[in-house]
């Protein structure tokens, strides 16, 4: 406070003024500040001209009731006002009370009594988010430097990320927990990959790359800033670009670079218009116009592997390390971009032009399923089946129905878990029985590795929608949602799923069934560390199918938020019961309520009420 002339202290009635910084430095308890108030004083410069306002606190002077266990004797014989002596200076203070609202008694204890200063982080969510992101990065540095006990370092770092992400998920609101759920899923996936990773592949380069990918992916899931999302998008490709240049695989290299360039140009167009970089502030405003929308869709096509840019996915799975490549493919950044940017930021444009991407996704699911029927390389076949199944996620997100979006979010979890398990088991088989595995003849590996055969069968059947697994529930919701939004093209989804089931059955029979081959030495089946983590994945997809409401109910709340994105009034379509109101250029068109009610199914009726068929399933 600005003072001039002799004065005993700045007082306001029975209260004495104390700068706010003094309260931060004092670390007084809430009980000591329960009678305090906060007010605003305007600092006056020389000459009486007001310059700026400062926040100060006021403490009562005089005797009040003492708190329990309070020692009324002043230590050292000091007066009660002695601790505030450093605030009193000589002179008449030139302060004037501003017209701002004063705080009630006790509000000062709430703000300053916690001991948190302006430089101290007060948000536990921010602390957990930073911990989940930076712990894997620090682990990557430690694994690259030490080159010893890399598996232990990788598992500890990824497990700590799991704990931080789980705490974030518990504090997140039910309708806004998609980012936290994806963080938990991918952290668990990386932690399990550290245990499944064969000893031959468990070197410092691989482990540090996986941890770096984990931290970058969690950064993309958690951010609400476009520039940070772009940085995370590029960072996830760094561990693979160097390997792709050495391996000579041009398709994955070009696709990853093209997706990053398309996203960068789209964000540059948004920034060029002076728009904020916060995703929350851009919702419903269509920043960048059609150009930015088209570039974002192009980034999704390149990163997701949508037809005709689908060939890079099996190339990457066949030519690279199986486990790290599976992690890269299961980031599902294409679906993340749709759910986090395209649908919320461009609701009107997405409603008009986004079905084109849905048609491409359904065509990709069917075409890739046909390609998988003639594929004999195990890695390429699994990559094609997984690409066909993951393309259905985009179709579900685009359906803009509660059932379709819920099915897409649940299927996201199933495809991620099953694909990781299948590619991990294939890599274990290659290490044990040679890397020349093929589906062109029967190998009879089930007699050598019966546990791996069972795990492989369960993961594969869960991927293609076996009844009793979580994938059956997700695909049921996906089919109903896509048929409701696209009655004709939605029929391609069950056809593609049936073809994928045939392809997987052929791969399983050729690898594990048939006459036992000679020439194999005695090889161990699944090791204990591999057995436990694979069993955890099997329990997730199996118990999720037996008790679907435990997962579907959580994802349905987020699906309603995504499906109910705001649409400008000029092109808003509102569905009320069985009547659809199309408000286009001030015209009103009522759909035939009789036909809609006559064809209304229990599933669609549940979706119109904001529920899914599995929401009331027994837990």
Four-CA torsion 482, 487, 493, 496, nearest 10 degrees: -170
Distances from the Cα of 490 to the Cα of 361, 366, 384, 591, angstroms: 11, 11, 20, 21
Which residues are CB-contacts of 293 (< 8 A; sequence separation ≥ 6)?
286, 342, 346, 349, 350, 353
3-state secondary structure of 581: strand
3-state secondary structure of 571: strand
What is the model's pLDDT at position 441?
A: 86
Report the candidate in 505, 531, 519 with the shortest Cα–Cα distance to residue 450. 531
Query: What does the block give as tokens for 367?
Result: 């075409």
Burial of 253-288, coded b for 16+ CB within 10 Å and e otherwise, reads: bebbebbbebbbbbbebbeeeebebebeebbebbbb
d(CA 328, CA 244): 13
What is the model's pLDDT at position 439?
A: 84
Whether 461 contacts 475, CB under 8 Å: no
What is the model's pLDDT at position 463?
A: 92
Where the chain has pLDDT below 70, the residues are 1-122, 244-248, 516-524, 554, 556-619
Tell me the pLDDT tens digit for each residue of 27-54.
555 555 555 555 444 444 444 444 444 4
The residue written with tokens 């994802």 in the block is 555
The full DSSP string for 333-390 is HHHHHIIIIIHHH-HHHHHHHTHHHHHHHHHHHHHHHHHHTT---HHHHHHHHHHHHH
Tell me the pLDDT tens digit for each residue of 83-97.
444 444 444 444 444
Burial of 38-61, coded b for 16+ CB within 10 Å and e otherwise, reads: bbebbebeeeeeeeeebebbbbee
What is the model's pLDDT at position 356?
A: 83
What is the model's pLDDT at position 122?
A: 55
Cis peptide before 294 (omega within 30 of 0): no
């Amino acid at each position: 406070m600005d003072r001039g002339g002799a004065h005993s202290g700045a007082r306001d009635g029975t209260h004495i003024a104390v700068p706010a910084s003094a309260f931060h430095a004092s670390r007084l308890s809430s009980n000591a500040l329960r009678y305090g108030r906060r007010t605003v004083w305007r600092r006056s410069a020389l000459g009486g001209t007001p310059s700026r306002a400062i926040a100060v606190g006021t403490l009562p002077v005089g005797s009040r009731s003492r708190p329990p266990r309070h020692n009324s004797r002043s230590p050292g014989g000091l007066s009660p006002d002695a601790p505030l002596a450093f605030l009193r200076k000589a002179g008449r203070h030139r302060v004037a009370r501003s017209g701002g609202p004063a705080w009630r008694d006790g509000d000062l204890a709430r703000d300053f009594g916690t001991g948190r200063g302006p430089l101290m982080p007060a948000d536990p969510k921010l602390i957990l988010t930073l911990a989940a992101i930076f712990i894997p990065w620090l682990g990557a540095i430690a694994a690259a430097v030490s080159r010893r006990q890399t598996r232990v370092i990788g598992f500890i770092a990824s497990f700590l990320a799991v704990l931080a992400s789980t705490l974030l998920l518990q504090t997140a609101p039910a309708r806004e927990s998609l980012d936290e759920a994806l963080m938990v899923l991918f952290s668990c996936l990386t932690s399990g990959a550290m245990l499944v990773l064969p000893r031959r592949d468990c070197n410092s380069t691989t482990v540090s790359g996986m941890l770096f990918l984990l931290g970058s992916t969690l950064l993309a899931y958690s951010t609400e800033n476009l520039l940070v999302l772009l940085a995370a998008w590029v960072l996830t490709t760094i561990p693979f670009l160097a390997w792709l240049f050495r391996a000579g695989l041009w398709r994955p290299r070009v696709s990853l670079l093209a997706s990053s360039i398309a996203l960068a140009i789209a964000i540059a167009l948004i920034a060029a218009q002076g728009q904020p970089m916060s995703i929350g502030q851009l919702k419903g405003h269509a920043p960048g116009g059609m150009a930015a929308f088209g570039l974002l869709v192009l980034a999704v096509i390149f990163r997701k592997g949508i037809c005709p840019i689908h060939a890079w996915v099996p190339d990457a799975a066949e030519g690279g390390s199986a486990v790290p490549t599976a992690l890269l493919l299961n980031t599902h950044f294409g679906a993340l971009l749709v759910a986090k940017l395209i649908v919320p930021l461009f609701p009107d444009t997405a409603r008009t032009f986004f079905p084109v991407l849905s048609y491409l996704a359904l065509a990709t699911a069917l075409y890739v399923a046909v390609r998988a029927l003639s594929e004999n390389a195990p890695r390429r076949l699994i990559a094609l089946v997984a690409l066909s199944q993951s393309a259905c996620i985009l179709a579900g997100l685009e359906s803009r129905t509660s059932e379709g979006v819920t099915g897409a979010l649940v299927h996201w979890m199933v495809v991620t878990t099953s694909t990781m398990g299948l590619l991990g088991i294939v890599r274990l088989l290659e290490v044990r029985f040679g890397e020349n595995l093929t589906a062109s003849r029967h190998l009879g590996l089930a007699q050598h590795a019966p546990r791996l055969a069972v795990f492989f069968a369960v993961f594969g059947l869960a991927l293609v929608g076996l009844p009793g697994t979580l994938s059956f529930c997700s695909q049921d919701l996906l089919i109903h949602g896509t048929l409701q939004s696209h009655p004709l093209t939605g029929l391609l989804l069950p056809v593609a799923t049936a073809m994928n089931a045939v392809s997987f059955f052929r791969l399983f029979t050729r690898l594990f069934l048939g006459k036992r081959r000679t020439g194999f030495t005695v090889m161990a089946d699944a090791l204990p560390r591999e057995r436990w983590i694979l069993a955890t994945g099997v329990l997730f997809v199996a118990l999720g199918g037996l008790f679907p409401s435990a997962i579907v109910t959580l994802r349905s709340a987020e699906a309603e938020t995504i499906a109910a994105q705001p649409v400008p009034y000029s092109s808003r379509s509102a569905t009320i019961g069985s009547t659809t109101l199309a408000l286009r250029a001030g015209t009103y068109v009522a759909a035939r309520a009789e036909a809609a009610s006559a064809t209304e199914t229990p599933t669609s009726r549940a979706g119109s009420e904001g529920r899914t068929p599995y929401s009331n399933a027994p837990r």
